[in-house]
Amino acid sequence: MKIAVFLPNWLGDLVMATPMLRAVRRHFGPETRIVGIMRPYLAEVLSGTDWLDEQWYFNPHAEQRRLRHLAVVQRLRREEFDLALLLPNSLRTAVVAWLGGVKERIGYARYGRGPLLTRKLDSPRAHGRMIDYPMVDYYLKLGAAAGCAPESPRLELATIEADERSADAVWENLGLRTDGRVVIFNSSGAYGAAKLWPMEHFGELARRVVDELDHDVLVMCGPKERDLARDIVRLSDRPRVFSMADQPMGIGTAKACIRRGRLAVSTDSGPRHVAAAFGKPVITMYGPMLPIWSQNPTVHAVDLLLDLECVGCQNRVCPLGHHRCMQDISVDQVYAEVARLVGECRAACAA
């Protein structure tokens, strides 16, 4: 049997799909060939896991023709897949699977793609309206529709030797502590500016973590966030605050670095889920998105959210112009949670 899994386009969503991938592999067994179809920039996310036999890369906007619709459709036709699981809700993925001749196509009937699916799932609803729903459970329902047994919602990632070697070099280059006393900061927000916590807040928080908790701080960043990471280091005015701005930028390296941290302080973006997948406590500042999308009982999570009418607006930029949902989450509030978690970690290590 051959299964094609169209994977989510965002880092965090892909991490939240790992329980479903685990369920699919467990149900169909090692004799089934499972191919993940994904964005090229996510190539390293699942390295070290064994759920996929192969990864194909698909980007409809790419300059290289081999990554576009026609190339993927032709490849699907040549391989003659039996089943496609469509995790993105887009019409595009359903069209590609249908044109690719996949015999059975399972997905949520959204955006007019219902006629292209052989097995349709309805989005979670209450009183006739769609409701916010944990993404891990949303994806697991697709696995259940394919016959998979109930699976733990535990997020899971792994690293490979090359990732760890790269992280070794980062630790050596920056002079980070090797005894676990490193707090990971993630200030990114690829979704949009509305998800960002002020860099001045991050800088002050970093200073307090170094001065009061005797931990190093490592600020993660992507290629477009180098200046933001450098600004946080500058604003902290502490030599034990470091950034990844001038270090290797691969997702594999980021995974290995996050895995070495004691805990993570993050905006609601991809690295937050990476930390959770490695079992790290995660403090997340929420604003335009509600925590329910990331809700997972297996994650040691502290979700900080203000009681404002506009919270959960889902806008990429604050339409009201004040950005209070993030601006007003205080450094004191976040620091109190960091100090509590560091204390718990110290107590557990001493036990």
In this predicted model, what pLDDT tens digit does every residue of 157-174 receive, in sequence order? 999 999 999 999 999 999
Model pLDDT for residues 185-204, shown as the tens digit of each residue? 999 876 677 788 999 999 99
In angstroms, the CA 11 to CA 272 distance is 10
Find residue 64's DSSP bridge partners. Answer: none
Residues near 329 by beta carbon (within 8 Å), at least 6 away in sequence? 197, 201, 285, 287, 304, 306
Could you tell me the two tokens for 65?
Answer: 């023709």
Model pLDDT for residues 58-88, shown as the tens digit of each residue? 998 888 988 898 999 999 999 999 999 999 9
Burial 41-70 (b: 16+ CB within 10 A, else e): ebebbbbbeebbeebbbbbeeeeeeebbbe
At 316 the pLDDT is 83
Rounded to 5°, angle at Cα 332 from 330 and 335: 110
Q: At residue 324, what is the residue type? A: R
Cα atoms in the Cβ-side hemisphere of radius 13 Å centred on 221: 22
Model pLDDT for residues 281-325, shown as the tens digit of each residue? 999 999 888 888 888 888 999 999 998 888 888 888 888 888 899
pLDDT reading at 18 higher than 90: yes
At 128 the pLDDT is 80
Cα atoms in the Cβ-side hemisphere of radius 13 Å centred on 152: 7
Hey, which CATH number is domain 161-350, 3.40.50.2000, 3.30.390.50, 3.30.360.10, 3.40.50.300? Answer: 3.40.50.2000
Around Cβ 222, how many Cβ atoms within 10 Å? 20
pLDDT reading at 129 higher than 90: no
Burial class (CB in 10 A: 0-12, 13-18, 19+), 251: buried
In angstroms, the CA 283 to CA 264 distance is 6
Find residue 219's DSSP bridge partners. Answer: 185, 243
In angstroms, the CA 207 to CA 216 distance is 10
At 190 the pLDDT is 67
At 346 the pLDDT is 81
Q: Where in the chain is the domain with CATH 3.40.50.2000?
A: 2-145, 161-350
What is the SS3 assignment for 103?
coil
**Second-level CATH architecture of 2-145:** 3-Layer(aba) Sandwich (3.40)
- Give the mean model confidence (pLDDT) for residues 213-235: 95
At 349 the pLDDT is 74
What is the SS3 assignment for 285?
strand
pLDDT reading at 249 higher than 90: no
Model pLDDT for residues 90-125, shown as the tens digit of each residue? 999 999 999 999 999 999 999 999 999 999 999 988
